[in-house]
Amino acid sequence: MRIESIHIENQSQLMRDYRKRKHNIMQHFDYTASFNDLNQRVSDLQHRKYDREQLANSLYQMNKQWGAPESSLVNIERLRDDQSLVVIGGQQAGVLTGPLYSVNKLISIIQFAKQQEEKLQIPVIPVFWIAGEDHDFDEINHVFMQEENRMKKHTLNQRITEKRSVSQIPLEEDKGLEWLNQVFGQLHESEYTKDLYDVVKECYVQSESYVDFFARLILKLFPTEGVVLIDSADLRTRDLETDYFLSLIDNQEKISEGVYTSVQKLNLDGYSIALECDTTNAHLFYHQKNERILLNRNEAGDWVGKQNEVKLSTEELRKIAVEQPELLSNNVVTRPLMQELLFPTLAFIGGPGEISYWSVLKPAFHALDIKMPPVIPRLSFTYIDRKVEKLLTKYYISPQEAINNGVDIKKVNWLKAQSNPPIEKLADELKQYITEAHQPLRELSKSIRSDLGDLAEKNLFYLHRDIEFLQRKIVKALEEKYEKELLEFDLLNNILRPMGELQERIWNPLPFLNEYGLGFIHHITIQSYSFENEHYIVFV
């Protein structure tokens, strides 16, 4: 295994400036020093109090029910230590873990926790926050698999008519296993296929919800790394959050106004923040009849749904927070706040989209008299096997170029080079020659009668069209002659820049696990990485 770091070109301006720690963006965060300089954060957290016992008890019960390995249970016990801290990040519960970036985020959390524990000499525990309260099932119900050098979407055929939280969506075993067999049918048979299938199937049949399925599979993929999982929609999590919901309710005005002002300022500074908000947003959901309703504040100070589905006074909402906290959940603004209130967080690990959202949250944290934790960009990977590496060498393409831009232009230029002289150049020259030779005829025709002039122009058009027809035929013949080579370009594109995206945003881990075994992710995780680097190529 060989690992190289590369620069990623197509980043947002916000991410480019954040990595360079430019003042324009760093002023929106509380910690602006090096990603590895967290001593000030440790000092700041010494003045904070956490309900470690109840938190550890709830995490133990959750992780135990998912079949957590000993390493995870030990880390939960370490969380009871008043000096222990966590490195945390999260994601939705995608089927079969979702795209590779979910696994890459877990690798990042584990890596950073390990690095900081060695440096700070205190317990640092990796925690993954499963966003079980999210309700967009269409975002998580599919995987993309390679089929004839293109990515095909395989969607789990379970119809959801209500806006239920993912944690509340029961698995339909027959449909799920049918889908699982379909997905595995896209894999070639390897020495690891049977064991991999058995593990995934076991995780599925033992699960009641898609969060369960996700959690069980993650713990199978990280058996020795000590990762601790939490389902944000679990009733045991909600029981921990009562006082924090009250704080969010009481400080709604300061949170909403602060975030709105922050969004406006960032937009004025030229940063594009994809967050629609105004000062009336409550940034809380109310659950009614299995559906989540996003709350706003009206002029009278009541908490109402957008379509007036619900109307609650502040007293009623506070009572719900105390007596039925399971009826409340957080949105993209308040989820980070709840995460910070629950866990003694040394650092948050996020992707580019999350860091964009977090850039507006400093006033929200300050509204609760706490600091935003250090925000660390997650590690980003592209996996390249020997076959792909050989093809890159064959066509003189650098991995960095293929990852950043794809190989479509290289493919077109390579095919052009197989015609000597180049057919496009030859056709253009011929059309130019005919146009010049045809000029006297067009001028004579126009001088005799205008309709003859029009006919001469049409005649030139037909001559050009015939040349273009022949040109297309020659190109098609070249494509047929070099079909194998062109398919190799398509393969490179599909693996390194699928659907115009980074590999980790489209590919699922399954093909790599099938090729290299369940231990593949462990081997990636135990390597050494710097969080200062933008992207890593892993040659496997």
Domain boundaries, position 264: 249-330
Count of other CB atoms within 10 angstroms of residue 170: 12
pLDDT the model gives residue 238: 93
Residue pair 5/538 in contact by the 8 Å Cβ criterion: no
Two structure tokens written together for 79: 């969380």
pLDDT the model gives residue 1: 87
* Sequence-separated (6 or more) residues with CB below 8 Å from residue 438: 456, 459, 460, 463
**Mean pLDDT on 99-112:** 97
**pLDDT higher than 80, residue 403:** yes
Residue 460 falls inside a structural domain? yes
pLDDT the model gives residue 32: 86
Same domain as 396, residue 260: no
**pLDDT higher than 90, residue 58:** yes
Helix (H, G, I), strand (E, B) or coil at 199: helix
Q: Residue 507: pLDDT band by 50, 70, 90 thresholds?
A: very high
Same domain as 233, residue 310: no
**Mean pLDDT on 156-160:** 85
**pLDDT higher than 80, residue 161:** no
Q: Residue 36: pLDDT band by 50, 70, 90 thresholds?
A: confident
* DSSP characters over 271-284: --------TTEEEE
**pLDDT higher than 80, residue 500:** yes
The residue behind tokens 């990603």 is: 35
Same domain as 470, residue 376: no
| pTM: predicted TM-score of the whole model, two decimal places | 0.92
Q: How many structural domains are present in the chain? A: 3
pLDDT the model gives residue 344: 98
Same domain as 515, residue 499: no
Residue 166 falls inside a structural domain? yes
pLDDT the model gives residue 164: 75
Same domain as 268, residue 226: no
Residue 30 falls inside a structural domain? no
AA letter at 24:
N
Same domain as 513, residue 391: no
Tens digits of per-residue pLDDT, 244-282? 999 999 999 999 999 999 999 999 999 989 888 899 999
Residue 159 falls inside a structural domain? yes
pLDDT the model gives residue 133: 83
**Mean pLDDT on 518-536:** 95
Residue pair 12/352 in contact by the 8 Å Cβ criterion: yes
Distance separating alpha carbons of residues 286 and 327, to the nearest angstrom = 6
Residue 493 falls inside a structural domain? yes
- How far the first Cα of the chain sits from its last, in Å, is 5
pLDDT the model gives residue 341: 97
Residue 29 falls inside a structural domain? no
Tens digits of per-residue pLDDT, 280-330? 999 999 998 878 899 999 999 999 998 888 999 999 999 999 999 999 999
Tens digits of per-residue pLDDT, 434-454? 999 999 999 999 999 889 999
Distance separating alpha carbons of residues 281 and 303, to the nearest angstrom = 9
The three-point CA angle 205-210-213 to 5° equals 45
Same domain as 285, residue 302: yes
Same domain as 356, residue 411: no
Same domain as 54, residue 103: yes
Residue 164 falls inside a structural domain? yes
Residue 32 falls inside a structural domain? no
Count of other CB atoms within 10 angstroms of residue 459: 14
Same domain as 276, residue 253: yes
pLDDT the model gives residue 24: 94
Tens digits of per-residue pLDDT, 66-91? 999 999 999 999 999 999 999 999 99
Same domain as 236, residue 343: yes
Same domain as 406, residue 261: no
Two structure tokens written together for 310: 């619900």
Distance separating alpha carbons of residues 530 and 35, to the nearest angstrom = 10
67-74: long-range pairs with CB below 8 Å, 24+:
67/206, 67/216, 67/219, 67/220, 68/219, 68/229, 69/219, 69/223, 69/224, 71/223, 71/224, 71/225, 71/226, 72/219, 72/226, 72/227, 72/228, 72/229, 74/226
Mean pLDDT, all residues of the chain: 94
**Can you point out the beta strands (E) in 62-163?**
85-91, 124-130, 142-146, 151-155
